A and B are shown apart, each in its own frame.
Chain A
Amino acid sequence: MRRPLSASRALELGSAIVLAVLVGLVAAAARAHFGPVPVSLVGAPIPPVPGLLDGPDPIVVDRDVAIALGKALFWDMNVGSDGMACASCHFHAGADLRTKNQIAPQGKSVAVHQPVYENAPNGTPRGPNATLSLDFFPFFQTADPLDPISIAFPTYVSDDVVGSGGSFGGAFDAVSTSPSLDACARTADADFQVGGTGLRRVEPRNAPSIVNAVFNHRQLWDGAANNVFNGSSAWGERDPDAGVWVRTGPGTIERQRLALANASLASQALLPPQNDVEMACGGRRFADLGRKLLPGEPLATQTVRWDDGVLGPWANSTPGRLRSGLATTYQSLVTQAFAPRFWSWPTPGGFGAPSGSDPTPYSQIEANFAMFFALAIQLYESTLVSDDSPFDRSAKDAEGIPIDLSPEVQTGFTAFRVGHCALCHIGPLLTPAAVETNAMLVHDNPEAFGSQTYVISTTHNVVTRMGLTGGPLLMDTGFTSNGLIAEDGDPGLGGVDAFGNPLSFSEQFLQLLVGNLAGVVDDPVAGVRPCDFDLDLARDTATPHPAFFTQQEGVQPQSQPATDCFSPTGAFVPTPSAAQAELASPINTRMKSAAQGSFKVPSLRNVELTGPYMHNGSMATLEQVLEFYTRGGNYDPPAKQFGTVFPQVELRFVPGQRESIIAFLKSLTDERVRYERAPFDHPELRVPNGQVGDAASVVAGNPIDPALAADDWIVVPPVGAGGRPHPLPTFEEHVTPEPGLGLLTAGGCLALAGAGRRRARSRRAERPGRFAPSRAIRRDLEREPDRCFRRLFDSRRRSLPSTPTPTPNAHPPGLEGRGVFPTAFHAARHASVISSPTTSSTGRCPFRSTAAPTIGPTTAKAPRKPKLRSESSAARSLEGMRRCSSWWSTGNQSPRMRVRQ
């Protein structure tokens, strides 16, 4: 008998049934063949963090100050040991746009470590410090990128990963309380060096965007950043030693456990500043970072606009007078934002002490700095919600279909659903990794992801189960394999934490089933309800079945109530003995997880701006992404969700289908992100874009250490709440030479050469000491227009002044002469007033003002001794460089020469 359901029954089911398929879809009616309906992000709830801002005794007592603290910390270059800020890898629509020294050979492959840089598809050597170009991509190529059969005969495969250049690393010794590099013992890295000269290391996964990351249940591609924040590490309740110091009375203080749910951004924030690939010297603790930062001025060497949407009230800048830093200290912000019980203990001691040359014991505020840092950044990143895209703005019909987008976007919206894209990229974030938000939306409205005739629901289950290429497997909600890499590639979710525990919830659930409670290290795993799985794990039936347990093997009721189950037949689990027997069986089919090779399904919001794509950054364009999905992926590992990634004949043969999907994806870009309007505005940031030189040779003599290569800096100018005048480029635009630009630029160079000479003469005569093009640049202009072209063309190649004079407080005691990188900071602090980069254009400085070694590939065989200059000289150079960088980076270009940034 068919079992038609009444409306009430349908709603009852709708509110109970789980989101399957990574997400859990459920019932379908008329539009089933279309897939779920992507929905607006407007009004979508941010997962609550009980106890953070609410309750009788909140941790944060002033949210606004905490957000300001978080924004300052996120963008402050002084957080890293050698100039890296959190933002250094997340400055462009929340992601990274750099193109030089961004390749990590072999990524995180589980194969034997053989860090070989493959040549580019055209044969170009692609070693460390190489500059990415469009013809490097994609990293998996076939004769016909749309042909599913051709994946068996790839014409090019590379396991290189386009990640993010980070730190030189080194062994940590001590910090300075002034803006400076940390004292570390640094040497050239074996993998990242050219001719023995050390480069910055490269993180072996592509930097995901932080925009909308607050909705992710866990952060990072492998989910390593725990949903629960423990106050002192990224590992949540897995970390037995985690905790924060709490003053419990006038004379009492104790270390207490902390468990803040839905705080994975805080967990994540603690990883890079302690990672010797990303930001720091190995062994540096957060208490050390607290000691370094707390007394000082936030963003001391970086300009902050007076109209910054968050930091403006604290900024030293005033309208028309751009200055660096904030008129406060980190310690002041911390004590305003956080409850006194976390910082008010009056004396140091009892909280440990540094292990290096600094013997002074930590204070409470230093010992708890990890918590301040992490929660402030979580609160700041929680403001980065991009819910104002054309898709969000579009009116919708009764079934949630947008109705006033362009015809191509409308077509793409349908093709996105028909092509199974919407199955994984579901909900308002277009990802099932937004577990809590999706669950809350569907709980309140069973039709949230559908319509009256299409209902979808979800629960808070963090594990589901379904048929994949490898058979019926347990899956972590929000994680899957799309067949991008082979089984022996990056383990992804199949990795382990710092204690050897599996990152995966599914792996832990297997341990729960066999009765090994010690193998369950995350609380949500114990709450997983089997009857909400997409595919039953066990049934109370007599007939054996290869996909689930039955009475034949031994089953028992699940521990939770079986009310409102997605699958009432699945409200059972195997007995521990049955589970153990299956797990030990050589033909185990029922006790498997899909963790190995699974990665977090990313949101697609602003995806237009966040290339290169995938966890390994192996695709440069959305067209390459669509080609990948059209051919059904590259490989067929067991964890692959073949039901959503398979050969798409329609996308291959019906003209316009792929293009329309891309048009739809572009409708997900929030213009506030594109133009960096509040809340996406930011302070100035200087980012190392690889090293001076190229893949064949680099310039040694980094101010940090002569054995390291000089950094090739780019400057991201500060942007106020009103945003920038020109849109952010896409990655493709950034790496694609523009036809005709050469001629235009060369002509411009020649024209500017004359004008520059005249202006320089005039300026020197009228205002001696002010910025003027360097002799080298003037020589370029006059004699080498092609070199001028290269300077102009590659806007990414700008260096800070190379070797300003060290200042007395630039180094911790005992480190004088080790390096002078921080003096650039000091130069910045003394930089004179410059015009607003977003409201005016000098139009006169398309060239780098520094005399630092520049474009020419200079050999690293003989490290150059740093050339010392006066600080005033450095300041002048920096000022000029800033003009130049502002001119470039904001698009305020000379009317005579427009150069795409």
Chain B
Amino acid sequence: MKEMERARSGFGALAGAGAAAWMMIAASQAWAVGAVGFQTWDGGGTTAQVLAPGASATKTGAAAAPASMANNPALNGSAWAHTGTWYSVQVGDLATLRIDVTSQNAGGFAPGLSVWAVGSGGAFDGGTTGFDAEVSTAAFGTPHSFNAFGPLGSAGTLWMQDGQGGNAKELLGYAIAGPSVLTATGWGETILSGAHDQRVSNAYASGVTGSVGAGFASLTLSDVEAGWLLIYAGGTDPSKSGSLFDVRVAAVPEPGTALLVGLGLSGLARTGRMRRRRGAARG
């Protein structure tokens, strides 16, 4: 078990530095978690904390291959873990959490993202390379190729699923700005353009909505359960030339909170105006 412990401790220290993890293993033994590593958020750290309404985290200038998430013909359209980017976020109980992936050049990159709930036990452990010797129809094992669009437990997800090769609990949803994959995919998953709620329960969020546009993909989660989330963001259109992109995770203030804040501000403004009027009358 020491090997595992070393792997885990090393993961935390090193996870953020690599944008493009790469392992090419197809049919290998499970050996240790840590198959993918996290990006470093702006300001440092590989796990951002977005615990309360109004809080946010940003990653500026991430890089991923143009077809790292969808529509790579060599992978039969499936996602490519090591040329996309991974993010870890710890969230509190939130009414609304919005995740935006925005290309720095709208015409140069068609982003996409998937979000998984990891639960309250800690951040995603990185998954296990080649878990259960899964191989896609494109002849690639996990997570070099993996299923970023189907519920955990389906083909191409075991490497990251809790109780299997990882500790991810549930896919919440995905959004891709690129076109749908119309041919048979590497894991048999369905990959459709636009934003899609993929939850199988309300345990981690009560709803998922989103939108996509030129150089833009977004998901909004409702009633988010406190815990850790895992985000994968990459490119979804190989016809794009490429661009850096930004990722932002923001807890949207609740309507009630926003109303109170608004009332308070207007009250302060009114008080200020009255003081100025009195001063002018005296003068």
Contacts and interface: CB of A to CB of B under 8 A. Distances in A.
B242 A647 contact: yes
A653 B244 contact: yes
Interface string B15-36: 1011111111111111111111
B66 A467 contact: no
A466 B20 contact: no
Contacts of A646: 65, 83
A552 to B, nearest CB: 15
A32 B23 contact: yes
Interface string B232-244: 0000000111111
B175 interface: no
B243 A653 contact: yes
Interface stretch (B136-144, B188-196, B255-263, B269-277): B136-144
Contact of B241 (A148, A417, A536): A148
Interface stretch (B4-12, B51-59, B202-210, B223-231): B4-12
Interface stretch (B88-96, B112-120, B127-135, B214-222): B127-135
A642 B82 CA distance: 13
A650 B85 CA distance: 12
Given A6-B3, A466-B26, A642-B74, A647 B31 contact: no
A2 interface: yes
B2 interface: yes
B86 to A, nearest CB: 9
A472 interface: yes
A548 B135 contact: yes
B59 to A, nearest CB: 13
Given A29-B6, A649-B242, A5 B32 contact: yes
Nearest to A152: B239
B28 A567 contact: yes
Interface string B147-176: 000000000000000011110000000000
B182 interface: no
A25 B34 CA distance: 15
A20 interface: yes
Contacts of A32: 21-23, 34-37, 126, 129
A19 to B, nearest CB: 11
A453 B24 CA distance: 17
A604 interface: no
Nearest to A533: B27
A570 B14 CA distance: 33
Interface in A24-58: 25-35
Given A647-B65, A647-B242, A653-B242, A6 B37 contact: no
A8 to B, nearest CB: 9
A28 B25 CA distance: 10
B27 A419 contact: no
A1 interface: yes
A649 B67 CA distance: 11
Contacts of B281: none
B13 interface: yes
A548 B26 CA distance: 12
Nearest to B74: A642
Nearest to A414: B17
B6 A452 contact: yes
Contact of B28 (A10, A566, A652, A653): A566
Contacts of B163: 1-2
B179 interface: no
B73 to A, nearest CB: 9
Interface in A802-860: none
B66 A418 contact: no
A390 interface: no
Interface in A450-476: 452-453, 455, 466-467, 469, 471-472
A630 B94 CA distance: 41
Contacts of B61: 653-654
B201 to A, nearest CB: 22
B34 A466 contact: no
B144 A643 contact: yes
A547 interface: yes
B133 A419 contact: no
A337 B64 CA distance: 58
A642 B26 CA distance: 15
B27 A570 contact: yes
Given A1-B163, A453-B10, A650 B19 contact: yes
Nearest to A30: B10
B48 interface: no
Contacts of B34: 28-30, 32, 453
Contacts of A643: 22, 24, 74, 140, 144
A423 B126 CA distance: 20
B1 interface: yes
Q: Which of A10, A31, A149, A466 has the most CB of B within 10 A?
A: A31
B63 interface: yes
B128 A2 contact: yes
B165 to A, nearest CB: 6
A378 to B, nearest CB: 34
B82 A567 contact: no
B63 to A, nearest CB: 4
A545 interface: yes
A21 interface: yes
Nearest to A9: B3
A155 B242 CA distance: 20
A675 to B, nearest CB: 36
Contact of B11 (A13, A30, A455, A567): A30
B8 to A, nearest CB: 8
Interface in A604-639: none
A432 to B, nearest CB: 12
Contacts of B14: 30-31, 34
Contacts of B165: 2
A26 B25 contact: yes
Contacts of B19: 418, 650
Contacts of B2: 7
A147 interface: yes
B24 A466 contact: yes
Contact of B74 (A419, A467, A569, A570): A467
A17 interface: yes
B11 A649 contact: no
Contacts of B35: 28, 32
Contacts of A27: 25, 28-29, 31-32, 129
A644 B22 CA distance: 8
B110 to A, nearest CB: 13
A739 interface: no
A34 B34 CA distance: 11
A29 B31 contact: yes
A481 to B, nearest CB: 13
A681 interface: no
Contacts of A33: 15, 17-18, 20-23, 36-37, 82
Q: Which 9 A-B pairs have the closest CB atoms?
A: A33-B21, A30-B10, A27-B31, A467-B139, A33-B18, A29-B7, A472-B139, A650-B63, A547-B139
28 contacts: A4-B1, A5-B31, A5-B32, A13-B29, A17-B29, A20-B26, A26-B29, A27-B29, A27-B129, A28-B31, A29-B3, A30-B14, A31-B10, A31-B14, A32-B36, A34-B21, A148-B242, A417-B18, A420-B22, A453-B11, A469-B74, A547-B138, A548-B135, A643-B24, A647-B242, A649-B66, A650-B19, A653-B243
Given A414-B17, A643-B22, A648-B20, 20 more contacts: A2-B163, A5-B4, A17-B28, A17-B29, A20-B24, A20-B25, A26-B29, A28-B34, A28-B35, A32-B22, A34-B21, A417-B18, A453-B6, A533-B27, A535-B26, A547-B138, A569-B27, A649-B243, A649-B244, A653-B242
Interface of A: 1-7, 10, 13, 17, 20-21, 25-35, 147-150, 414, 417-420, 423, 452-453, 455, 466-467, 469, 471-472, 533-536, 545-548, 566-570, 642-644, 646-650, 652-654
